[in-house]
Amino acid sequence: MFATARHLLVTLSVVLAGFWINVAGTSAAEASAPLTLGIHPYLPTQELNTRFRPLADYLGKTLGRTIDIRIGRDYEEHIRAVGANTVDIAFMGPAQYVTLVNEYGPRPLLARLEVNGKPELFGAIVVRKDSSIRTLADLKGHRFAFGDPDSTMSHIVPQGMMAEAGVPLSALSEYKFLGAHKNVALGVLSGDFDAGAVKMEILDEYADRGLRMLIKTPAVSEHLLLVRPDMPADQVEKLRQALLNLKNLPEGAQIMQSIHKGMTAFAPAVDADYDSLRTLMRALEPGK
């Protein structure tokens, strides 16, 4: 009887030891597994991979983990991926962030971009340099190119400006969503569309090719980085401080300007920074 009891105790000890070794091994594997940085496709995939690779490597070094880059198929798919927590760190446009919070709830924010010393994003409604269109009212009866339906500066803010000027979508002869900002610029320059909406960075890139600004948009809070809600608090704070301190490092300028030529820092971000955009987006909802 005692021998049987001893045998059972030995067996139980072996099983428990194996269990705890397995748990410890799983925890260690999870702690060292690659993380994913998700980015919306506002530029071609290869260009985004090139732009964000230095940042991914820097943040990976901060946590002692590899960080892979994931480019969303479109803006909506990127929002779904972030909402479903299939990416660990997400780079998002302002309007995507507002939509994310509305549909999936809040997320811990890391920082937002600061461009030319300000954490503000601008866009422009553009035409060709030889266009006779001079005011927003002149857009009536013309063909208009937007980027993605969830784009801040290639759809939502410009549409709000047009509606305020008495040019609802129904007043256009045609409008289409072309995806990336560069597609909009090329669509206008080719003559397929009479006007379009892009972020300022794209206007600057294509101005020498014949693109002209019709009107500049109001400022909204810049693009931001956030993390999945279950990321350990100590890791969140490490990432946040690494971003905020980047401007002080010798390699900081190179990492930031790889993302945006005019980028000068990562700035603190809070949810209220995006309240004015929320108001505009609510006003553009059908039936409002």
User: d(Cα 71, Cα 90) in Å, to the nearest integer?
Assistant: 10
- pLDDT of residue 19 exceeding 70: no
User: d(Cα 94, Cα 100) in Å, to the nearest integer?
Assistant: 10
Dihedral sign, Cα of residue 26, residue 30, residue 33, residue 38: positive
Segment 65-96, tens digit of pLDDT: 999 999 999 999 999 999 999 999 999 999 99
Hey, do 34-118+221-283 and 123-218 end up sharing a CATH topology, with the first three levels equal? yes
In this prediction the pTM is 0.85
- pLDDT of residue 23 exceeding 60: no
Segment 166-200, tens digit of pLDDT: 999 999 999 999 999 999 999 999 999 999 999 99
Architecture, CATH, for domain 34-118+221-283: 3-Layer(aba) Sandwich (3.40)
Residue 285 has a pLDDT of: 83
**What phi and psi, each to the nearest 5 degrees, are found at residue 235?**
-70, -40
Superfamily of domain covering 123-218 = Periplasmic binding protein-like II (3.40.190.10)
Tokens representing residue 48 in the block:
């985004």
Cβ(35)–Cβ(66) below 8 Å = yes
Segment 195-243, tens digit of pLDDT: 999 999 999 999 999 999 999 999 999 999 999 999 999 999 999 999 9
Tokens representing residue 129 in the block:
């340099």
- pLDDT of residue 25 exceeding 90: no
**What DSSP line would sit under 101-154, residue for residue?**
HHHH----EEEEEEETTB-EE-EEEEEETT----SGGGGTTSEEEE--TT-III
User: d(Cα 251, Cα 261) in Å, to the nearest integer?
Assistant: 15
User: d(Cα 82, Cα 91) in Å, to the nearest integer?
Assistant: 10
Residue 2 has a pLDDT of: 44
Cβ(185)–Cβ(202) below 8 Å = yes
- pLDDT of residue 31 exceeding 70: no
Domain ranges within the chain, ordered by starting residue: 34-118+221-283, 123-218
Tokens representing residue 21 in the block:
């070794």
Q: What integer best gives the mean pLDDT of the chain? A: 92
**What phi and psi, each to the nearest 5 degrees, are found at residue 172?**
-85, 150
Report which of 266, 124, 253, 255 is spatially closest to residue 201, judged by C-alpha positions.
Answer: 124
Residue 288 has a pLDDT of: 58
- pLDDT of residue 3 exceeding 90: no
Predicted confidence band at 13 (pLDDT cuts at 50, 70, 90)? low
Residue 286 has a pLDDT of: 74
User: d(Cα 255, Cα 247) in Å, to the nearest integer?
Assistant: 9
Dihedral sign, Cα of residue 111, residue 31, residue 67, residue 257: positive
Segment 88-122, tens digit of pLDDT: 999 999 999 999 999 999 999 999 999 999 999 99
SS3 of residue 70 by DSSP:
strand
Report which of 74, 101, 103, 218 is spatially closest to residue 160, judged by C-alpha positions.
Answer: 218
Alpha helix stretches (DSSP H) within the chain: 2-32, 45-63, 75-83, 94-104, 157-164, 181-189, 200-206, 233-244, 252-259, 275-283
C-alpha of 39 from chain center: 6
SS3 of residue 263 by DSSP:
strand
